[in-house]
């Protein structure tokens, strides 16, 4: 496999689309030629919106780790390092499109306007899904790896049925797309393959968005796949792109095109965003057990926040005033969130969980609930 060095510290596939250097200069990769115009035409408003989203999310991401350490959250899944990939993806969507996330899409959830405390309540175990999916066109976080890729594909297929016979103009104005988010590790799940075959067969308007952060907990990417993931698309019969996922304008331009393709009824697209999980897998993980400090430091130079800031300064003359303002906002958001989460009442008791598994009664769950009641009464203690 031929590779190119990237500002993220990776050896990216030579087909990878990248526009920005680590310090924010326009320095396209060979494969980026067809995207340079679109990427550089992205206005400062969208780049600033992406930066703001990334900065605010990174700040509450840190709060997530802190609150878990203080016993306020059961778990937290940091998104640090993956912000540009997610910001590029979420800003490529219309509100009417649907997002099917994993458990790490905090930038996307916030980009959709989901209140921070709803995201945190999920990790507190205080609620079931966290938010009303229909209110935000975003499914709840999904921990069962790859399951949401099937859900997204099924949903997209349903939308394809509704959109059958639509004119191109109507598709442009009203057409809806689903985006299936998953990780490099999840890419090896059987269901993900089934989803891709199905989506190809029925031209489902779904964008498969894989954030290759090079680790699936402690399993490195080399073990997941012998080929870059974007290449798999060819085998299913649709287009696949590799993009430098730590480059916000490259990711935005590639996602814009992928979403447009699906929206026009031309079927699915696979986008592999190369990024890096700068933090731990979750707060229950210790990455020093399986990766080196040198590796982490090499990737630190590709930090998407640093690149986005450099690009805003160089290309659009953004100054300290903007970046300071965003930081103040971020601190305020974090403080408000903290106040809402610390010692927040649980809205669902442990006992309630049994009644919320199925819409109607189920004999196995009822038996488990009875056992739980006996245990609580001390019979089995
Ligand atoms: C079906 C299933 N198998 C195993 C797990 C345990 N598990 C949780 S996260 C994870 C690694 C996922 O890696 P990746 O898909 O690369 O996503 P990332 O966490 O890196 O974003 C594993 C194995 C799970 N949640 N679901
Ligand atoms: Mg991963």
Closest ligand 1 atom to 187 CA: 15
How do residues 302-323 score in pLDDT, each as one tens digit? Answer: 899 999 999 999 999 999 999 9
How do residues 188-221 score in pLDDT, each as one tens digit? Answer: 999 999 999 999 999 999 999 999 999 999 999 9
Report the Cα–Cα distance between both ends of the chain, in Å, rounded.
59
Is the pLDDT reported for residue 166 higher than 80?
yes
Closest ligand 1 atom to 221 CA: 16
- Whether 277 sits among the annotated catalytic residues: the reply is yes
User: 215: CA distance to ligand 2 center in Å?
Assistant: 4
Q: Whose CA is nearest to atom 4 of ligand 1?
A: 145
| Residue 215 DSSP one-character state | E
263 and 114 both lie in a single domain? yes
272 and 365 both lie in a single domain? no
- Phi, psi torsion values for 241, nearest 5 degrees: -130, 145
User: 182: CA distance to ligand 1 center in Å?
Assistant: 9
How do residues 133-154 score in pLDDT, each as one tens digit? Answer: 999 999 999 999 999 999 999 9
Contact call for residues 50 and 311 (beta carbons, < 8 A): no
How do residues 38-77 score in pLDDT, each as one tens digit? Answer: 999 999 999 999 999 999 999 999 999 999 999 999 999 9
243 and 259 both lie in a single domain? yes
| Per annotation, catalytic residue among 172, 290, 351, 374 | 290
Q: State the average pLDDT over residues 14-20.
A: 96
Predicted local distance difference test score (pLDDT) of residue 380: 57
- Whether 311 sits among the annotated catalytic residues: the reply is no
| Per annotation, catalytic residue among 56, 59, 274, 277 | 277
Q: How many residues does the chain have?
A: 381
The closest ligand to the CA of 148 turns out to be 1
User: 315: CA distance to ligand 2 center in Å?
Assistant: 32
Q: How far apart are CA 346 and CA 121, in angstroms?
A: 9
Q: Whose CA is nearest to atom 25 of ligand 1?
A: 144
Q: Which of 79, 185, 210, 287 to mutate to test the pocket of ligand 1 (most atoms within 8 A of CB)?
A: 185
CATH of the domain at 256: 3.40.50.970
Cross-sheet strand order for the sheet of 269-274: 98-100, 178-183, 206-212, 269-274, 239-244
Neighbouring C-beta atoms of residue 375, cutoff 10 Å: 11
User: 78: CA distance to ligand 2 center in Å?
Assistant: 12
Q: State the average pLDDT over residues 214-235.
A: 96
Dihedral sign of CA atoms 270, 221, 55, 309 in order:
negative
354 and 295 both lie in a single domain? no
323 and 228 both lie in a single domain? yes
Confidence of residue 344 (pLDDT cuts 50, 70, 90): confident
340 and 380 both lie in a single domain? no
109 and 202 both lie in a single domain? yes
Predicted local distance difference test score (pLDDT) of residue 353: 84
Confidence of residue 347 (pLDDT cuts 50, 70, 90): confident
254 and 370 both lie in a single domain? no
Confidence of residue 260 (pLDDT cuts 50, 70, 90): very high
Domains: count for the chain: 2
Percent of the chain with pLDDT over 70: 98
Predicted local distance difference test score (pLDDT) of residue 279: 96
Closest ligand 1 atom to 213 CA: 20
325 and 357 both lie in a single domain? no
How do residues 110-128 score in pLDDT, each as one tens digit? Answer: 999 999 999 999 999 888 7
Q: Which two tokens stand for residue 24?
A: 């924010």
298 and 359 both lie in a single domain? no
Q: Provide the domain limits for residue 140.
A: 3-347
88 and 76 both lie in a single domain? yes
List, chain by chain if needed, residues with CB within 6 Å of any ligand 1 atom. 102, 104, 143-145, 183-186, 213, 215-217, 277, 281
Q: Whose CA is nearest to atom 11 of ligand 1?
A: 216
Look up tokens 């026009």; give the residue: 264
User: 277: CA distance to ligand 2 center in Å?
Assistant: 7
Neighbouring C-beta atoms of residue 223, cutoff 10 Å: 11
| Per annotation, catalytic residue among 281, 299, 307, 338 | 281
The helix or strand, by DSSP H or E, that contains position 4, with its residue range, turns out to be strand 3-5
Q: Whose CA is nearest to atom 7 of ligand 1?
A: 145
User: 271: CA distance to ligand 2 center in Å?
Assistant: 15
Predicted local distance difference test score (pLDDT) of residue 8: 64
User: 186: CA distance to ligand 1 center in Å?
Assistant: 6
Predicted local distance difference test score (pLDDT) of residue 1: 61
Closest ligand 1 atom to 184 CA: 16
Predicted local distance difference test score (pLDDT) of residue 125: 86
The closest ligand to the CA of 75 turns out to be 1
Q: How far apart are CA 45 and CA 58, in angstroms?
A: 20
Average pLDDT over the chain reads: 95
138 and 177 both lie in a single domain? yes
Closest ligand 1 atom to 143 CA: 25
């Amino acid at each position: 496999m031929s590779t190119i060095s990237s500002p993220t510290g990776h050896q990216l596939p030579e087909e990878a689309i990248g526009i920005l250097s680590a310090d924010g200069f326009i320095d396209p990769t060979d494969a980026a030629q067809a995207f340079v115009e679109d990427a550089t035409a992205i206005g400062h408003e969208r780049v600033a919106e992406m930066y703001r989203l990334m900065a605010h999310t990174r700040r509450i991401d840190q709060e997530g780790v802190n609150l878990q350490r203080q016993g306020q959250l059961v778990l937290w899944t940091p998104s640090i390092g993956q912000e540009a990939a997610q910001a590029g993806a979420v800003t490529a969507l219309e509100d009417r499109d649907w997002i099917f996330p994993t458990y790490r899409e905090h930038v996307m959830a916030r980009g959709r306007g989901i209140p921070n405390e709803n995201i945190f309540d999920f990790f507190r175990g205080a609620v079931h899904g966290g938010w009303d999916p229909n209110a935000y066109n975003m499914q709840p976080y999904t921990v069962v790896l790859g399951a949401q890729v099937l859900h997204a594909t099924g949903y997209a297929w349903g939308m394809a049925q509704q959109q059958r016979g639509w004119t191109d103009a109507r598709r442009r104005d009203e057409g809806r797309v689903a985006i299936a988010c998953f990780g490099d590790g999840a890419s090896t799940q059987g269901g993900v393959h089934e989803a891709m075959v199905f989506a190809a067969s029925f031209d489902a308007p779904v964008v498969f968005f894989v954030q290759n952060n090079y680790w699936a907990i402690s399993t490195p990417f080399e073990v997941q796949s012998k080929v870059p993931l974007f290449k798999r698309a060819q085998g299913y019969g649709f287009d696949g792109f590799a993009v430098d996922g730590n480059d916000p304008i490259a990711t935005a331009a590639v996602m814009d095109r992928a979403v447009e393709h699906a929206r026009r009824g031309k079927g699915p697209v696979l986008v592999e965003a190369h990024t890096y999980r700068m933090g731990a897998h979750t707060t229950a993980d210790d990455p020093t057990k399986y990766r080196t400090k040198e590796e982490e430091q090499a990737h630190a130079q590709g930090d998407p926040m640093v690149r986005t800031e450099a690009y805003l300064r160089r290309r659009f003359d953004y100054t300290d005033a903007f970046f300071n303002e965003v930081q103040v906002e971020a601190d305020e958001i974090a403080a408000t969130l903290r106040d809402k989460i610390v010692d927040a009442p649980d809205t669902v008791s442990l006992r309630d969980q049994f009644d919320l598994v199925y819409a109607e009664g189920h004999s196995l769950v009822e038996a488990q609930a009875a056992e739980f009641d006996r245990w609580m009464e001390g019979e089995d203690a």
